[in-house]
Amino acid sequence: MSPLFRRRPSKVPSLSLEPGERVLAWAAAPDGDVVATTRRLVLPVDGTAETMTWQSVERAGWDEETEQLVVIETAALGSRPRRYRVNVGREPVLLDVIREQVQASVVLSRKVPITERAGIRVTARRAPGGQQLSWAVAVDRGLDLEDPQVRLRVDQAVALVRAELE
């Protein structure tokens, strides 16, 4: 195990945990620690700690060329998602923990075709231990949300998927 990586440490410096929150994995980065807890992901961004709940993380992966952890945040319909890059090197256990927590937040995810070539993915997520759902819609490239017919189909598709849980 790398000396820069710890799994289930007893205490991570400079991170206040909420009651019942536990650290699952962490890795040191030049600007601060990347910390995955039972409730959130903390990333060092421009000298500060950026905190994201698991239901607001769309996905995470490794950029093999730069050896960076890449985390993509969910975005509002029609918006570009924020992408974070952190220099932590390849830490497969950390990435596994992040992916597990993101997947655990997913209650429902449906891919819905809108045109012959493009569609949307509608995802309902829930915070660990929470009851309230948050909804995210990822739009395929080439889908023009400015087109009134496309927007109507998207709105109808989102309503149908939401109706599955409401």
DSSP, residue by residue, 4-69? TEEES-S--TT-PPPTT--EEEEEEETTEEEEEESSEEEEEETTEEEEEEGGGEEEEEEETTTTEE
- Of 54, 42, 53, 46, nearest to 13 by C-alpha is 42
Query: Is 64 found in the same domain as 130?
Result: no
Distance of alpha carbon 112 from alpha carbon 110, whole angstroms: 6
**Cα separation, 122 vs 132, whole angstroms:** 16
Point out the domain boundary residue: 105, 128, 144.
105
User: In this structure, are 100 and 128 located in the same domain?
Assistant: no
CB 126 within 8 A of CB 105: yes
- In the predicted model, residues of the chain with pLDDT beneath 50 are 1-11
Q: Same domain for 121 and 156?
A: yes
- pLDDT recorded at residue 12: 55
Task: Say what the pLDDT of residue 91 is.
Answer: 79
- pLDDT for the residue 55: 93
**pLDDT score at 83:** 95
Domain count, the chain: 2
Q: Are residues 60 and 138 in the same domain?
A: no
Give how far Cα 131 sits from Cα of 101, 103, 123, 136, Å.
16, 16, 15, 16
Rg of the chain on CA atoms, in Å = 18
User: Which of 89, 105, 121 finishes a domain?
Assistant: 105
The counts of H helices and E strands in the chain are 2, 11
Range of the structural domain that residue 79 is part of: 5-105
pLDDT of residue 14: 64
